[in-house]
A and B are shown apart, each in its own frame.
Chain A
Amino acid sequence: QQQVKQSPQSLIVQKGGISIINCAYENTAFDYFPWYQQFPGKGPALLIAIRPDVSEKKEGRFTISFNKSAKQFSLHIMDSQPGDSATYFCAARPRGGSTLGRLYFGRGTQLTVWP
């Protein structure tokens, strides 16, 4: 059972465009929602993260929008660049308990930015 559902599976965007990746979850025990970026041959690296008490977080060209009532969150990449071409994973972490730190990942979105 996929606890975090991510779409689209792949995305092609022109340089300078906006890339949007969406995720949805069901478990209301999740309290931390990171996005990871993964380049070929590398491990996932944290890009940006949000907690459910805020609706938006922006870091440079990357913005997370969070809708707690809909249990959805999305990553927006403004002014997309060829160097942004990578696989992006959304994730969620349940609050507290022995599973602290364990992440549930979406299936990933392969982003290609054409120059």
Chain B
Amino acid sequence: DSGVTQTPKHLITATGQRVTLRCSPRSGDLSVYWYQQSLDQGLQFLIQYYNGEERAKGNILERFSAQQFPDLHSELNLSSLELGDSALYFCASRGQGSTEAFFGQGTRLTVV
């Protein structure tokens, strides 16, 4: 168990809908990262938050947004969903001064 909790584990939704994925980082970890894993693109970095502030953006679509709350949990919001958004979404957290990022078990999103 990495200590990073993601909910839900599975999500099936229709095209055009909006979903929210939740991540609770390891206790005390201030940095949260979101990654998308798909068969054709592999693991792609989406966005990073540090102590509530956005720190870096990767290949994140404009239809996607995220935030990190004062209790350090993070949410990834995906809207106007398309079939191609079907993927595994991982959250990772890292402690200050640590090199290692710990990954959650992921949320498998299926858009039908």
State the CA gap A6–B55 with chains docked (Å): 27
With beta carbons under 8 angstroms apart, the residue of B4, B31, B45, B55 that contacts A43 is B4
B104 in contact (CB, < 8 A): yes
Q: A103 with B101: in contact, given A43-B4, A45-B2, A89-B43 (CB under 8 Å)? A: yes
Main secondary structure of the interface of B (DSSP, over half): strand
* A44–B42 touching, CB < 8 Å: no
State the CA gap A106–B42 with chains docked (Å): 7
* B4–A44 touching, CB < 8 Å: no
With beta carbons under 8 angstroms apart, the residue of B31, B43, B90 that contacts A101 is B31
A98 in contact (CB, < 8 A): yes
* B105–A43 touching, CB < 8 Å: yes
Give the chain A neighbours of B105 by CB distance below 8 A. Answer: 41-43
State the CA gap A109–B35 with chains docked (Å): 18
What count of chain B residues pass the 8 Å CB interface test? 24
A32 in contact (CB, < 8 A): yes
In this complex, the interface size class of chain A, counting residues with CB under 8 Å from chain B, is: 20 to 34
* B103–A99 touching, CB < 8 Å: no
A46 in contact (CB, < 8 A): yes
Give the chain A neighbours of B44 by CB distance below 8 A. Answer: 105
State the CA gap A72–B33 with chains docked (Å): 26
Chain B residue at minimal CB-CB distance from A46? B100
A15 in contact (CB, < 8 A): no
Give the chain A neighbours of B104 by CB distance below 8 A. Answer: 43
Give the chain B neighbours of A57 by CB distance below 8 A. Answer: none
Binding site for B on A (CB under 8 A): 2, 32, 34, 36, 41-46, 49, 89, 93, 98-99, 101-108
Provide a sorted-by-A list of 16 A–B residue pairs whose CB atoms are within 8 angstroms. A36-B103, A42-B105, A43-B92, A43-B106, A44-B90, A46-B102, A89-B43, A99-B48, A99-B55, A101-B33, A102-B48, A102-B58, A103-B43, A103-B45, A103-B101, A108-B43
Binding site for A on B (CB under 8 A): 2, 4, 31, 33, 35, 42-45, 48, 55-56, 58, 90, 92, 94, 99-106
